[in-house]
């Protein structure tokens, strides 16, 4: 339709002209697709035409009820849009194609939902993830069948591993052609079953509304995650019954949110007696909502215990808080990892004992008793045995725990905890994030530190990242004082996440500063989304730490593969400044430490999206590092000598990633 008439022209037309345009578009869609051959399809087409002409006619055909927007009978495509509106959806990230044209047609006719046209379906899923993580609301994706759906798979798996609520709507070939190897057919349900929390193929328009609302429920309740609804094209054209979100049948999926009170009581007793306690928090705190982060802060202040967090949990407890030890894990802080190794009571809140956190499992926190709070029962005792497991929502459990702790007099073993803090201060004094700076070359750590200072000066900021060394430096050097400000691909480690995620974040926070800390190689995986940023006036800043290397791969090859740098050099890089110009956004370059502050200030002040090419030292490694297969107390620091590093990883560890 866009070929013939613009959206604004369409909206200003009288009803007769609008009708004509719709009829032509529907007819064209049929010819283009060459799929409406059977009687049922002709009925479906007739339904669409009837609706378009808004004729009040009685018809004996099964699914040809005329509809008005208020009626509870609508076409499948209308049901999709009405369900989204009733679920409070404001933005959909998507890409059209033959199998979703009826839904795109309905999008065209309304004003409540904004559609963001990405440049690749992977971009739609990451943008929806960025939107979801920065707002706490589910992200919505709309893509076509076949390649549209398969392109979305990486983002679905990413969202599954990081527990991000997404609703992905895919078009499918008409029901009567499924299994025929039809044009753009793929077994989307089969392909996405392992990378969604749940998925549905809707074969009857009467089931569509119910399924849409179920999908929102499943994606956002319990451990959040991506869900997918596959909607054949005839189901979109046909008419069916609409039910609102409050009228759907009760579902069997009722995740437990309240923790067992006896277990919470046992946990409080353990907290009271702890001599070397540690809070180990994760993305579950953020997913539970800002209230959970506040409760966590209250409990930490009430106990006076130290706290560390996974990559996904940054911001739940403020980095400026005095109980903060920094992130733990493979590239976490010295003090956090040592505290983890030596603690006697570990309070794990909304984290899942991922291998990046535990290191060698049989040497993980060997002297500790573990309390594990998680909404997902399958996470408990999966990798590490919990002494006190508590299944429930972090917010609910922390509220009960704090109440019980206070009602018993807020007792802790103060002298022992004071001694523990003294020990922690010794580890802190190691100053594990120090590095040798240079006047000539921009050290990547320095670049991130200067960026962090400038962002702090600017005020509230949101950061996305790609995957690699730059991601770890961003986690180490950028402080987050609030939840929902840090968007990174933790579980899947997806290069190419950051640009589209920044698009999604900026859609939700139009006036905020949104920066993607990128590597040059990752940026090139989804850089086409700069075009999306330009189209929707999203002033995202892409801060590339350009080391002309697949830096993290190079680091592992140096440490593990005898310095044989097999294919880890970024050859034939484009000129990122010219690329910025070509996209119609800003392009900047900086290669001198002395110019960096001014250049970063210019980038932040630039009125629009910017690609910032920061040329950094090419051989810097990311420390501290727990070599694979080692325990937390065997961490390497930047001061560890080269020979010791080369020998640090044994063959048993080399097999691990």
Write out the residues near Mg ion by the rule CB under 5 A: 519-520, 547, 549, 551
CA–CA separation, 159 vs 654, rounded Å?
28
Under the binding rule (CB under 6 A), the answer on residue 476 touching ligand TPP is no
> Which one, 358 or 547, has the nearer CB to Mg ion?
547
CB-nearest residue to Mg ion: 519
For 109-131, the three-class secondary structure string (H helix, E strand, C coil) is CCCCCEEEECCCHHHHHHHHHHH
State the catalytic residue, choosing from 183, 269, 272, 528: 183
Quote the least distance from Cβ 398 to ligand TPP, whole Å. Answer: 33
CA–CA separation, 541 vs 518, rounded Å?
10
Q: How many residues bind ligand TPP (CB under 6 A)?
A: 20
The contacts of residue 369 (CB under 8 Å, 6+ apart) are 270, 344, 345, 346, 387, 388
Which neighbouring-strand residues pair with 280? 308, 348
Please answer whether residues 46 and 61 qualify as being in contact, where contact means their C-beta atoms are separated by less than 8 angstroms. yes
> Which one, 252 or 572, has the nearer CB to Mg ion?
572
Quote the least distance from Cβ 566 to Mg ion, whole Å. Answer: 16
* Residue of 283, 269, 213 whose CA lies nearest to 241: 213
CA–CA separation, 30 vs 350, rounded Å?
50
Each residue of 161-181: b (16+ CB within 10 Å) or e?
A: bbbbbbbbbbbbbbbebbeee
Under the binding rule (CB under 6 A), the answer on residue 549 touching ligand TPP is yes
Under the binding rule (CB under 6 A), the answer on residue 467 touching ligand TPP is yes
Task: Give the interface segment with ligand TPP, choosing from 162-170, 464-472, 478-486, 623-631 (CB under 6 A).
Answer: 464-472
Among 494, 526, 531, 532, binds ligand TPP (CB under 6 A): 494
State the catalytic residue, choosing from 40, 78, 106, 121: 121
Q: How many CB atoms lie within 10 A of CB 457?
A: 11
Q: Judge whether 552 counts as a catalytic residue.
A: yes
Residues 501-520 that bind ligand TPP (CB under 6 A): 519-520
> Which one, 36 or 518, has the nearer CB to Mg ion?
518
Contacted by 579, from Mg ion, ligand TPP, none: CB < 5 to 8 Å by type: none
Under the binding rule (CB under 6 A), the answer on residue 469 touching ligand TPP is yes
Cα 431 to Cα 335, 473, 567: the distances in Å are 9, 15, 34
State the catalytic residue, choosing from 184, 294, 528, 535: 184
Q: How many CB atoms lie within 10 A of CB 114?
A: 13
* Residue of 164, 139, 258 whose CA lies nearest to 507: 139
DSSP per residue, 428-475: HTT-TT-----SSSB-HHHHHHHHHHHHHHH-SEEEEE-SSHHHHHHH
Contacted by 163, from ligand TPP, Mg ion, none: CB < 5 to 8 Å by type: none
For 340-398, the three-class secondary structure string (H helix, E strand, C coil) is HHHCCEEEEECCCCCHHHHCCHHHCCCCCEEEEEECCHHHCCCCCCCCEEEECCHHHHH
Under the binding rule (CB under 6 A), the answer on residue 615 touching ligand TPP is no
Quote the least distance from Cβ 63 to ligand TPP, whole Å. Answer: 44
Quote the least distance from Cβ 570 to ligand TPP, whole Å. Answer: 6
> Which one, 171 or 444, has the nearer CB to Mg ion?
444
* Residue of 71, 132, 136, 168 whose CA lies nearest to 288: 136
Which neighbouring-strand residues pair with 229? 169, 200
Q: Judge whether 2 counts as a catalytic residue.
A: no
Contacted by 495, from Mg ion, ligand TPP, none: CB < 5 to 8 Å by type: ligand TPP
Please answer whether residues 216 and 178 qualify as being in contact, where contact means their C-beta atoms are separated by less than 8 angstroms. no
Tokens of 8: 């604004």
Quote the least distance from Cβ 606 to ligand TPP, whole Å. Answer: 23
Identify the helix (H) or strand (E) that includes residue 599. helix 596-605
Angle (CA) 170-171-172 rounded to 5° is: 115
Among 470, 509, 541, 630, binds ligand TPP (CB under 6 A): 470
Q: Judge whether 110 counts as a catalytic residue.
A: no
CA–CA separation, 131 vs 123, rounded Å?
12
Contacted by 467, from Mg ion, ligand TPP, none: CB < 5 to 8 Å by type: ligand TPP
Q: Judge whether 233 counts as a catalytic residue.
A: yes
Contacted by 239, from ligand TPP, Mg ion, none: CB < 5 to 8 Å by type: none
CA–CA separation, 655 vs 210, rounded Å?
47
> Which one, 41 or 520, has the nearer CB to ligand TPP?
520
CA–CA separation, 515 vs 609, rounded Å?
10
Quote the least distance from Cβ 485 to ligand TPP, whole Å. Answer: 21
Contacted by 466, from Mg ion, ligand TPP, none: CB < 5 to 8 Å by type: ligand TPP
Task: Give the interface segment with ligand TPP, choosing from 42-50, 180-188, 447-455, 487-495 (CB under 6 A).
Answer: 487-495
Instruction: Give the x/- contact pattern for ligand TPP in 517-536, rule: CB under 6 A.
Output: --xxxx--------------
State the catalytic residue, choosing from 122, 197, 212, 233: 233
Please answer whether residues 187 and 178 qualify as being in contact, where contact means their C-beta atoms are separated by less than 8 angstroms. no
Quote the least distance from Cβ 441 to ligand TPP, whole Å. Answer: 15
Quote the least distance from Cβ 641 to ligand TPP, whole Å. Answer: 23
Q: Judge whether 453 counts as a catalytic residue.
A: no
Task: Give the interface segment with ligand TPP, choosing from 71-79, 124-132, 207-215, 465-473 (CB under 6 A).
Answer: 465-473
> Which one, 388 or 492, has the nearer CB to ligand TPP?
492
Quote the least distance from Cβ 522 to ligand TPP, whole Å. Answer: 3
> Which one, 314 or 550, has the nearer CB to Mg ion?
550
Residues that bind ligand TPP (CB under 6 A): 466-470, 493-496, 519-522, 545, 547, 549-553
Catalytic residues: 121, 183-184, 233, 552
């Amino acid at each position: 339709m866009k070929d013939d008439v613009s959206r604004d022209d369409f909206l200003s037309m009288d009803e007769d002209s609008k009708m004509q345009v719709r009829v032509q578009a529907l007819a064209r869609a049929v010819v283009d697709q060459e799929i409406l051959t059977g009687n049922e399809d002709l009925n479906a087409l007739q339904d669409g035409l009837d609706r378009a002409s808004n004729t009040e006619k009685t018809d004996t055909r099964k699914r040809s009820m005329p509809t008005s927007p208020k009626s509870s009978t609508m076409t499948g495509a209308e049901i999709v849009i009405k369900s989204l509106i009733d679920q409070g959806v404001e933005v959909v990230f998507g890409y059209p194609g033959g199998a979703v044209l009826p839904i795109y047609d309905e999008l065209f006719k309304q004003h409540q939902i904004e559609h963001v046209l990405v440049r690749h379906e992977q971009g739609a899923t990451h943008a929806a993830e960025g939107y979801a993580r920065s707002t706490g609301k589910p992200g919505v994706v709309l893509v076509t069948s076949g390649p549209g759906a398969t392109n979305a798979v990486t983002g679905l798996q990413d969202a599954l591993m990081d527990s991000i609520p997404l609703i992905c709507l895919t078009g499918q070939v008409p029901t009567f052609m499924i299994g025929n190897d039809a044009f753009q057919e793929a077994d989307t349900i089969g392909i996405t079953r392992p990378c969604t929390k749940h998925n549905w193929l809707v074969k009857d328009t009467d089931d569509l509304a119910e399924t849409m609302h179920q999908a929102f429920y499943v994606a956002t309740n319990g451990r959040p995650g991506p869900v997918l609804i596959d909607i054949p094209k005839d189901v979109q054209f046909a008419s069916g019954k609409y039910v609102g979100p409050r009228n759907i049948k009760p579902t069997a999926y009722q995740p437990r949110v309240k923790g067992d009170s006896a277990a919470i009581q046992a946990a409080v007793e353990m907290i009271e007696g702890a001599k070397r306690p540690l809070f180990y928090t994760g993305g579950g705190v953020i997913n539970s909502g800002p209230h959970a982060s506040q409760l966590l802060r209250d409990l930490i202040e009430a106990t006076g215990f130290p706290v560390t967090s996974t990559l996904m949990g940054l911001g739940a407890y403020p980095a400026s808080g005095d109980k903060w030890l920094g992130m733990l894990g493979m590239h976490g802080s010295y003090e956090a990892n040592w505290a983890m190794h030596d603690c006697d009571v570990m309070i794990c809140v909304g984290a899942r004992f991922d291998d990046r956190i535990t290191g060698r499992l049989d040497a993980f926190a060997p002297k500790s008793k573990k309390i594990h709070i998680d909404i997902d029962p399958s996470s408990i005792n999966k990798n590490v045995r919990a002494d006190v497991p508590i299944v429930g929502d972090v917010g609910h459990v922390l509220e009960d725990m704090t109440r019980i702790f206070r009602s018993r007099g807020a007792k802790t073993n103060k002298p022992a905890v004071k001694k523990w803090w003294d020990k922690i201060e010794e580890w802190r004094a190691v100053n594990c994030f120090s590095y040798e700076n240079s006047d000539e070359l921009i050290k990547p750590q320095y670049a991130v530190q200067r960026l962090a200072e400038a962002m702090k000066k600017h005020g509230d900021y949101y950061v996305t990242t790609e995957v690699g060394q730059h991601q770890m430096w961003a986690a180490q050097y950028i402080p987050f004082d609030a939840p929902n400000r840090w968007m990174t691909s933790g579980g899947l480690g997806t290069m190419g996440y950051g640009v589209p995620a920044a698009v999604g974040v900026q859609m939700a926070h139009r006036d905020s500063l949104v920066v993607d800390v990128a590597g040059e190689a990752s940026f090139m995986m989804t850089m086409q989304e700069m075009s999306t940023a330009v189209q929707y006036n999203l002033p995202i800043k892409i801060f590339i730490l350009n080391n002309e290397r697949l830096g993290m791969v190079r680091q592992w090859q140096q440490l593990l593969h005898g310095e044989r740098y097999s294919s880890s050099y970024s050859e034939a890089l484009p000129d990122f400044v010219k690329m910025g110009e070509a996209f119609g956004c800003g392009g900047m370059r900086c290669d001198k430490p002395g110019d960096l502050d001014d250049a970063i200030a210019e980038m932040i002040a630039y009125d629009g999206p910017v690609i910032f090419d920061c040329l950094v030292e090419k051989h810097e490694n990311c420390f501290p590092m727990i070599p694979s297969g080692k325990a937390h107390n065997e961490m390497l620091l930047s001061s560890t000598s080269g020979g010791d590093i080369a020998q640090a990883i044994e063959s048993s560890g080399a097999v691990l990633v």
